[in-house]
Amino acid sequence: MTRICIFGAGAIGGYLAAALDTAGADVSLVARGPHLDSIRTDGLRFEKDGAITTHHLQASNMPTELGPQDIVFLAVKAHGIPSVVDDLKPLLHADTIIVPAVNGLPWWYFHCAGTGTSLDEQPLLSVDPQSRIWNEIGPQRAIGCVVYPACDIAAPGHVRHLDGDRFSLGEPSGEKSERVRALSALMIEGGLKAPVRPRIRDEIWIKLWGNCSFNPISALTGATLDAIGNDPETRQLAAEIMQEVQAIGEAAGARFGVSIEKRIAGATAIVGHKPSTRQDIEAGRPLEIDPILSAVLELADRLEIDAPALSRITGLLKLQAETLGLYSRG
């Protein structure tokens, strides 16, 4: 039986845990606070389409209690990963796979990337400031993952599915390895969509388009996706940021298979929704600025590409988040 630990059993982590438990994996959780207490007492309750299933799983705030795993899903915020490197080590054996289910550019991005630039086989300092993840965990363990579902925590121990069921997977090398095919099959067995992509980085950049444009605009204004897309000035700003992000991504080897207008139209069609960055502000949670915005600007700097619109909106968002106590420039 495959041993899988979900490190960070919040909304998305809880969804993964429920699905993988349904698939027959030996699932354990790293959680904390009232959420952990409730899972230990009553099990993890997962709600989808009005039906609730209960999953009795080993859960702890001490990874040493869980032992080595075959697969570890990192379902914490990307900016939090450097601080949990030591906590991850007890979960690893020689062949443990790490699946970062996070937003933004992942720390393993330039492993086996083959961009032909000086960035190949180098860590991203915006998300791995001291290169600890790269050096002590290792990019060779990573399988890429792009997360699309939306979930929330309805109450401690109770994860509620809102929308989506796709987790795209891909090896950094692009190969359809035995390990990524096995992981995909297990996730599909649990009711998820888990396509294996030969160019997972392209999908990361398509999602980043929205993360770098609609997210900060919404965070600063409080506007929903449809309001941003229907306002001529914010729509134009989003398009300018997307043009800059596309130039950076293409310089790093990515391919953009849809047009900017189509991407904007897709976001605008989602009525009444505020992106996660705005939701974090309203909930008083720390913001994911560095893995999404700072990492792209790091690439722009290292590849000598101008990105004035992205730079300005990132500066505004950082100041707002610092003022609210939700971000520190370190």
Q: What is the pLDDT of residue 30?
A: 97
| Cα(25)–Cα(257) distance, integer angstroms | 35
Q: Are 58 and 29 in contact (CB under 8 A)?
A: yes
pLDDT tens-place string over residues 260-310: 999 999 999 989 989 889 989 999 999 999 999 999 999 999 999 999 999
CATH number at 201-323 = 1.10.1040.10
| 22-50 mean pLDDT | 96
What percentage of the chain carries pLDDT values higher than 70? 100
Q: What is the pLDDT of residue 276?
A: 87
Which range among 2-6, 79-83, 171-175 shows the weakest confidence by mean pLDDT? 79-83
- Rounded to an integer, what is the distance from CA 50 to the centroid of its chain? 26
pLDDT bracket for residue 132 (50, 70, 90): very high
The answer, yes or no, to whether residue 78 has pLDDT greater than 90, is no
The answer, yes or no, to whether residue 188 has pLDDT greater than 80, is yes
The answer, yes or no, to whether residue 134 has pLDDT greater than 70, is yes
| 187-205 mean pLDDT | 98
| Cα(326)–Cα(287) distance, integer angstroms | 6
pLDDT bracket for residue 251 (50, 70, 90): very high
Q: What is the pLDDT of residue 160?
A: 95
- CA 299-305-309 angle, 5° bins: 95
pLDDT bracket for residue 79 (50, 70, 90): confident
Q: What is the pLDDT of residue 330?
A: 67
Q: What is the pLDDT of residue 1?
A: 83
| 128-143 mean pLDDT | 97
CATH number at 3-198 = 3.40.50.720
Residue spans of the domains in the chain: they are 3-198, 201-323
Same fold, 3-198 and 201-323: no
The answer, yes or no, to whether residue 166 has pLDDT greater than 70, is yes
Closest residue by Cα to residue 207 from 269, 254, 163, 161: 254
Average pLDDT over all residues of the chain? 96
Q: Which residue numbers are catalytic? A: 207
The answer, yes or no, to whether residue 217 has pLDDT greater than 90, is yes
Q: And the tokens for 330? A: 């370190």
Closest residue by Cα to residue 158 from 34, 23, 25: 34
DSSP three-state, residue 316:
helix
The answer, yes or no, to whether residue 77 has pLDDT greater than 90, is no
The answer, yes or no, to whether residue 8 has pLDDT greater than 80, is yes
Q: What is the pLDDT of residue 273?
A: 87
Find the largest Cα–Cα distance for the chain.
54
DSSP three-state, residue 156:
coil
The answer, yes or no, to whether residue 72 has pLDDT greater than 90, is yes
| Cα(112)–Cα(188) distance, integer angstroms | 26
Please report which residue ranges of 81-174 form alpha helices under DSSP H: 85-88, 132
